[in-house]
Amino acid sequence: MESLRFVLPQSEIPTHWYNVVADMPNPPLPPLAPDGKPATPEQMGAIFPMAILEQEMSSERWIQIPQPVREIYRLWRPSPLVRAARLEEMLGTPARIYYKNEGVSPAGSHKPNTAVAQAYYNKQAGIKRITTETGAGQWGCSMALAGQMFGLEVRVYMVKISYQQKPYRRSMMQTWGAEVFASPSAMTQTGRAALEKDPDNKGSLGLAISEAVEEAASRADTNYALGSVLNHVALHQTIIGLEARKQFELAGDWPDIVFAPCGGGSSFAGIAFPFIADNAAGGRNGKPVRLVAVEPSSCPSLTKGQYAYDFGDASGFTPLMKMFTLGHDFMPPGIHAGGLRYHGASPLVSQLYKEGLIEAMAVPQLATFEAGVRFAHAEGIIPAPESNHAIRAAIDEALRCKESGEAKTILVNLTGHGHFDMASYDRYFSGELEDFDYPEEAIKASLQHLPKFG
Ligand SMILES: Cc1ncc(COP(=O)(O)O)c(C=O)c1O
């Protein structure tokens, strides 16, 4: 019987993260302070520990993973690489499809890869409390879990609509010891101002980030942690691609094309960046691996956004980053992949896209659920709605292979399971889900508010 699961021993958990900056043709553009000058480490030090800021600015190719972090990773890593043979058969494709299953972490997604590292560095720096935001709940759960592992208090501002729709994500965070508030909340000036304007405000990721940053900046014992977008988050996630490369060697195969969902861009960065090192050296089989970020067509930051300096949050508390953005006050339509409802994309992912080293595509919501259900029928696993975006793209590629007769090797980042997203699946089954058109007018209006320099 042919092996379908490629599992590394725990001794093979990578010892270093890979920093793509070392292989980028041009250095990344620096974050800017609101006055337009490069943000100083002192300004950023109000909310991040120095070790993380060093990683944020580093151009070292390899950065050592601290042993206590590897010891926590050991609870679920290395994650399996699995050949989706039943899906291939169902599609009747000559393509070989593999998925890297990040849904096996205790929180159910790739997010603990960075949450554990961030909790460790904050603990080392003497920090007692972490504030953060969560949209769909995956990141908040991951930070709650990591805080528990290192004895840090965690306070999560959860986008109000998710707080109401996903009570069990809230219970999970509470089980791991975190405090959870619906955002906008009465706890911060930002929250109070938003509620005054609209007592019914359902919240957004940008607003929740503003609340968490405001609180962290006002207390010396408290730092802030972000679950995506920033360079250090992308760095920590590279453990996914580093393991996958070793697992492909075990399988005696190598990907031609990699698909990952793209919200802030960390899971895409995590699986794709280690292959950029190969591509920079001419590619394994003499050809580069194609690396494709898949975003929702209703929140298309890479494919329809503008490459410009913009804030990472709705209120303008964060430094300005050069990224593909839809405008920091863009309110994405109510799509069900909550983790993809972010106005921008990681500056590293954005720059690599701008320079043509990676690709991006957008897919509509209904097609992603159709793909997720097909995947569940074939492979058993019910994917997170975010992961369904990458699965949609992979299925379409496999069907193109069926037409052309090509036996391509396709790799998908299965970033999480969908066990807490069944209300969204229910809405899909009952026909209540819709495709939201790319809201051109809303994006145009929001892009009017881009900061005026950079
Ligand atoms: C399961 C899952 N996949 C993907 C994402 C998208 O985020 P990122 O682009 O940072 O990977 C999220 C974000 O919450 C998520 O929960």
Amino acid at 85: A
What global pTM score does this model have? 0.97
Ligand 1 pocket, mutate which of 386, 387, 417, 424 (most atoms under 8 A from CB): 386
Q: What is the mean pLDDT of residues 234-248?
A: 98
Model confidence band, residue 157 (pLDDT cutoffs 50, 70, 90): very high
Task: For ligand 1, say whether the CB of 237 is within 6 Å of any of its atoms.
Answer: no
- Dihedral over Cα of 107, 113, 114, 119: its sign: positive
Beta bridge partners of 35: none
388, 433 Cβ separation under 8 angstroms: no
> Could you tell which of 101, 229, 340, 421 is best to mutate to test the pocket of ligand 1, judged by most ligand atoms within 8 Å of the CB?
340
Classify residue 83 as exposed, middle or buried by CB count within 10 Å of its CB (0-12, 13-18, 19+). Answer: buried
Q: How far apart are CA 333 and CA 329, in angstroms?
A: 13
Give the mean model confidence (pLDDT) for residues 175-197. Answer: 97
Cα 379 to Cα 107, 110, 403, distances in angstroms: 21, 19, 23
CB 421 less than 6 A from any atom of ligand 1 = no
With a CB cutoff of 8 Å and minimum separation 6, the contacts of 285 are 254
Rounded to an integer, what distance in angstroms lies between the CA atom of residue 268 and that of residue 413?
Answer: 8
Q: Which atom of ligand 1 is nearest to the CA of 136?
A: 14
Q: Above 90 in pLDDT, residue 249?
A: yes
Tell me, using a 6 A CB cutoff, whether residue 411 lines ligand 1. no
pLDDT at 336 exceeding the cut of 80: no
pLDDT at 69 over 60: yes
Residue 314 pLDDT more than 90? no
pLDDT at 195 over 80: yes
What is the 400 CA–ligand 1 centroid distance (Å)? 26
In the chain, pLDDT over 70 holds for what percent of residues? Answer: 99
Task: Reply yes or no on whether the pLDDT at 337 is more than 80.
Answer: no
> CA 191 from chain center: how many Å?
25
CB 241, CB 110: distance < 8 Å: no
pLDDT score recorded for residue 243: 98
Where is pLDDT greater, at 136 or 373? 373
For residue 241, is pLDDT > 80?
yes
Residue with token string 């591509």: 279
pLDDT of residue 332: 74
pLDDT at res. 48: 95
Which residues, listed in sequence order, are joined to residue 316 by a DSSP beta bridge? none
Cβ pair 269, 237 in contact under 8 A: yes
Query: How much is the pLDDT for 268?
Result: 98
Which segment of 32-36, 154-158, 427-431, 436-440 scores lowest on mean pLDDT? 436-440
Pocket-testing residue among 101, 162, 228, 368, ligand 1, by greatest number of atoms within 8 A of Cβ? 228
Q: Which CATH code for domain 25-63+112-231? A: 3.40.50.1100
Mean pLDDT, rounded, of the chain:
95
- At residue 426, the pLDDT reads 96
CA–CA distance, 380 with 112 (Å, rounded to integer): 23
pLDDT at residue 228 tops 60: yes
pLDDT 10s digits, 410-438: 999 999 999 999 999 999 999 999 898 77
Residue spans of beta strands (DSSP E) within 262-374: 290-296, 306-311, 320-325, 359-363
The DSSP annotation for 15-70 comes to SEEE-GGGG-SSPPPPPB-TTSSBPPHHHHTTTS-HHHHHHHH---SEEEPPHHHH
For residue 226, how far is its CA from the centre of ligand 1 (angstroms)?
Answer: 12
Q: How far is the CA of 406 from the centre of ligand 1 (A)?
A: 30
Percentage of the chain exceeding pLDDT 90: 83
pLDDT over 60 at 253, yes or no: yes
Out of 24-38, 91-105, 126-140, 433-447, which region has the weakest mean confidence (pLDDT)?
433-447
Does residue 439 register a pLDDT over 80?
A: no
Residue 316 confidence (pLDDT)? 86
Domain ranges of the chain: 25-63+112-231, 76-108+237-447
Q: Which residue type occupies 250?
A: L
Residue 120 near residue 150 (C-beta atoms within 8 A)? yes
Biggest alpha carbon–alpha carbon distance for the chain: 64
Asked, colleague to colleague, whether 25-63+112-231 and 76-108+237-447 share their fold, the answer is yes
Taking only the tens place, the pLDDT of each residue in 339-392 is: 788 889 999 999 999 999 999 999 999 999 999 999 999 999 999 999 999 999
Instruction: Give pLDDT tens digits for 270-283.
Output: 999 999 999 998 99
pLDDT at 44: 87
CATH code of 76-108+237-447, in short, is: 3.40.50.1100
132 lines ligand 1 (CB under 6 A): no
**Residue 82 tokens, joined:** 């699995």
Residue 436: the pLDDT is: 84
Residue 454 pLDDT greater than 70, yes or no: no
Contact 34, 311 (CB under 8 A): no
Report the pLDDT value the prediction gives residue 453, as an integer from 0 to 100: 65
